[in-house]
Structure 1
């Protein structure tokens, strides 16, 4: 007798989505210089946006909690997010201000320099969004700023929080299952002891060196996948790793295996200028 089919995963992203314009430059301009952006393109990106696009490449139902500005940039972001697929549900608060724009400059080595125009727009717990639906999610990824919204996200079975939101996590009074960040980013490098309510695990990537996992039992390493031969750009690699990690943990992979699997998805983004072009499909193990 065959086993009943497992229902699809239900995953959530809570955070900011920017209107991102990305393109290549010969070099980042110095004071007084002019840089010409080659082959510019735009897409909904940012920490929440890139993780959302990665999760949208899975068989899961994906809920996005975000905020939108009241200008044409906000309208463009809303239309693009809504076209991400039939399994996507976008819950957006409205702000009476322009939507945040990012300008991303990619140099020939693929490194990115980001100029953020305005403050990122984050959802808040007092926004009239269906926060109760988070209790039915297998996992939630949090990259917003409101501690009360983080407490709402804690209702999901698994809570993964970006290390960029250490302050919000401390103020929320809840413990995350996983905090994820980059050991190469000064905004994100941390230790479990830095959190008043230490997460069950802290995952920090180290680019081509792989990364570390810190738990109460100690520190262990996970490997990095082979780097792609052709490098398009580094924008979105870390956020794609985080999105993939959320998926694999929700699907039941042990943490070290989930990190190794997510590493392949983070590295894949390096092949492309627009991270969506490099993101790999997510499949349950």
Structure 2
């Protein structure tokens, strides 16, 4: 079972502060928490922990953050031989979190802006040998399209996690076998106004019709909806008694979905497995620490309410 991932890596520099500073103000008393991030890297690690052979394409800088990323992937068993070392620094996100949970985030993409179609071309053999290709959108549009196009040309099943969301070019829809937005992302990728008023079933049908393949609409505590040519199916949520941190739920869901599809499960079974992984993840603080191993997830499924 092999998964190819094309997406992002970045260092997340989080500061928990008593309050956000006003212009020109310095606020003391913060707590600093650095850690690895980026949707592509998270999804690759999540899939590897669930037992897949994983190859990752992203871009990092020739700096301490980039070296830390390569060491992380080595420890997690993620194949990073094709990861690009760019001229710019590794992507960094600065996250300021107030006691209420309100956050302010700024991102410097850095080396990720250098991830282009040529880099994807060098990754073509990995895509061709994979059972499933997972692509997310914290990378340049050219790289997203090149990855999806390569997947279609070589016959590898393509999963697009359209996050962070932006409208998709018309030519990209036919390259997607499974698209996996949340409710907010679905409206954005469809180019709908915020006040569109469509219900979730209408959204997931519209996504499926655009791709001609399948759509999985994730809805947090409400589970997920699947649309394929035969209709719309509800995937019930896994109930969680204590939600600690929802940050990594989407990445965990997409990693588990790809693994289950690569194992030959149908889409409904795969989405049920993915929903369990996402639910497990929200019970643990942080993203990478919360991504379950196969044994952890199997045990949790067996004891979940």
- TM-score, normalised to structure 2, is 0.77
Q: After alignment, is 162-171 or 70-79 more displaced?
A: 162-171
Q: Distance in 1 between the 2:253 and 2:28 partners?
A: 30
Q: Residues 56 and 88 of structure 1 are in contact (CA less than 8 Å); yes or no, is this contact kept in structure 2? A: no
- Residues 173, 197 of structure 1: 8 Å contact kept: yes
CA distance in 2, matches of 1:97, 1:111: 30
* Alignment-derived partner of residue 87 in structure 2: 96
CA RMSD, Structure 1 to Structure 2 (Å): 3.0
1:152-171 map, 5 Å:
152-154=150-152, 155=154, 157-164=156-163, 170-171=170-171
Aligned-residue offset at 1:172: 4.1
Give distance in 2, aligned partners of 1:253 and 1:107: 42
Identify the residue that residue 4 of structure 1 maps to in structure 2: none
> 1 CA distance for matches of 2:266 and 2:99?
37
Q: Residue 220 in 1 paired to residue 233 in 2? A: yes
Match of 1:141 in 2: 134
Residue number in structure 2 paired with 1:206 = 219
Residue pair 1:67, 1:94 contacting (<8 A) in 2 also? yes
In the alignment, structure 2 segments of 5+ residues that lack a partner are: 191-202, 299-305
Matched, 1:118 2:109: yes
- Residues 1:56 and 2:68 are matched in the alignment: no
Runs of 5+ consecutive residues of structure 1 not aligned to the other structure: 1-8
Distance 2:208 2:170 in 1: 6
What SS class does the counterpart of residue 227 from structure 1 fall into? coil
What residue number does 1:47 align with?
39
Q: Which moved more, 1:88-97 or 1:185-194?
A: 185-194
Q: 1:11 aligns with which of 3, 7, 12?
A: 3
Shift of 1:20: 1.7
CA shift, 1:109, in A, is: 7.2
- Residues 174, 163 of structure 1: CA spacing in aligned structure 2 closer, same or farther, 3 A cutoff? same
Residues in 2 aligned to 1:200 and 1:108: alpha-carbon distance in whole angstroms: 43
The answer to whether the aligner puts 1:151 opposite 2:164 as a matched pair is: no
Q: Secondary structure at the match of 1:19?
A: strand
Paired residues in the alignment total 273
Pick closer, same or farther for the CA change 1:169–1:253 going to 2, 3 Å: farther
Corresponding position: 1:249 with 2:261? yes
Maintained 8 Å contact 2:208/2:214: no
3-state SS of paired residue (1:160): strand
CA distance in 1, matches of 2:257, 2:181: 11
State the secondary structure of the residue aligned to 1:50.
helix
**Residues 129-179 of structure 1 deviation map (CA, whole Å, 9 limit, x = unaligned):** 342231111111011432223212333531101123665664447432100
Corresponding position of 1:179: 179
**Counterpart Cα distance in 2 of 1:198 and 1:130:** 24
CA distance in 2, matches of 1:53, 1:240: 9
Matched residue SS, 1:181? coil
Contact in 1 for aligned 2:247/2:287 (Cα 8 Å): yes
